[in-house]
Every structure is written in C-alpha cells, then in structure tokens.
Structure 1
Amino acid sequence: MYYMLLIYNCDRPEPGDPRFEDAVVQVNAFVDECRRRGALVGGHPLLKESTAKSVRVRDEQTLVTDGPFTETHEHLGGYYILDCPTMDDALELAALCPMAAVGHIEVRPVAVVPEVNNFPV
C-alpha cells in the first residue's frame, strides 16, 4: 500500500547555512534506508509558501490567489511517498525521517483508484 508522509513545520536549512551539510547527510541516510527497504516511491521538498498559488473555480470563473488557500499556522514543507506493507511500517519509517525531530509528519494512506489514476503513484 502507498503512504504519503507529509512533512510539516520543519526548519529546513538552506544552502549556505552551517546546518545545511548535516541536514543533507541526515536526509540522504533516511532516503537510503527507505530504498534499502524497497519502500521509496518518491519525494521532494517544497519551496516556501510565498511561491505558491491557489486555484479555485466558482461560477465558471477561475480565481488564482497567492499563497496557500487555507489559513494555517502549519506549513507543508515536503513529502515522501512510500510503498509499505502496513501502516506500522510507514510509521516506523516516518519516525526515522530527520524532519520528525524538528517538525511533524502526517502519515496518510494513498487511495489508488484504477479507474481514475492511470499513472503510477
């Protein structure tokens, strides 16, 4: 089953920050462990919320606004998609993710609907 790890509120150091190199080592170790277990499907960090746009269609009018649509104190910083036999396996990997120590990770099963999803997760 596929699980999405949604990474919230992590303080991700940028290149040039003295913590950046250590963060890269930790993230690469996590990704390597996911690969070793055959669980890694994909994942990426997201750029800051200021780069986002939200799209809504109302009364056949497309409305585009800057930033995330929802008002929230949490920010989504990135994601991983894992293929794990059980939720417990996905939770175990989520606990190994270095961002769990500085933010939090929501683990959510991915609904695969063959009639709709004609592309790999």
Structure 2
Amino acid sequence: MLIDRGARIDLTDKDGRTALMDAALGGHYDVVQRLLKEGADEDMVDQHGETALAMATRQGHADVIREFENRRKKYRQFGGLDSLGTQPYLKKLGDILKSMPNTSLNREDF
C-alpha cells in the first residue's frame, strides 16, 4: 500500500472522498481494516456529507459495517450515549437503513 511509503492517509479526491470511503463503498473489508488501523479518519465526510460508514451501509457491505461497529465498542463502554440514552451513530445507521429501498441486508447479519 502507498501508506507504507508515507502517503497521506486522509487525502481527498475532487469529490472529497478518501481512500477509506472508496474502500468502504466497494466493500473492500481488508483495505478498510488496514486503513483504520493506520489511523484513517472515519468521521470525514465527502462533498455530499457521507461518511465511509454511510457508504458501506448504502451498498449493504455488512462485514465493513461490522468493522466500524467493532471499532466503536470501546466508545460505547465509556458512556457514549446522548441525552435520550441512545447511541447517536446507531440511530443514524438505523435511519440510513430505513431509507434504503430494497435493502439486501438480513437481520441476522447484525
């Protein structure tokens, strides 16, 4: 990978997308995992306001979604709840899933 040679991990293209976003959009689990391990910013948004997680969710890449979920487990253990007692990113993920027509995700995938 180019990051082994010092490439900027969060460099964006003309649409504001990062390598993490492209990997998540394409369902490239191993690449997503490596980029996150190397410190890619999973909260960056492209020019349409989408994160890598939103892109993976839109495409139905359950393994990539799980990787983001696993990275957030530590956050949840330390009180990552909003004033309503919900986890904001899970609520957002639910909203995204509800808005997807003809989703191919199965309940047991989560």
Q: Normalising to structure 1: TM-score of the pair?
A: 0.25
| Structure whose CA Rg is larger | 1
More strand by share: 1
More helix by share: 2
Q: Normalising to structure 2: TM-score of the pair?
A: 0.27
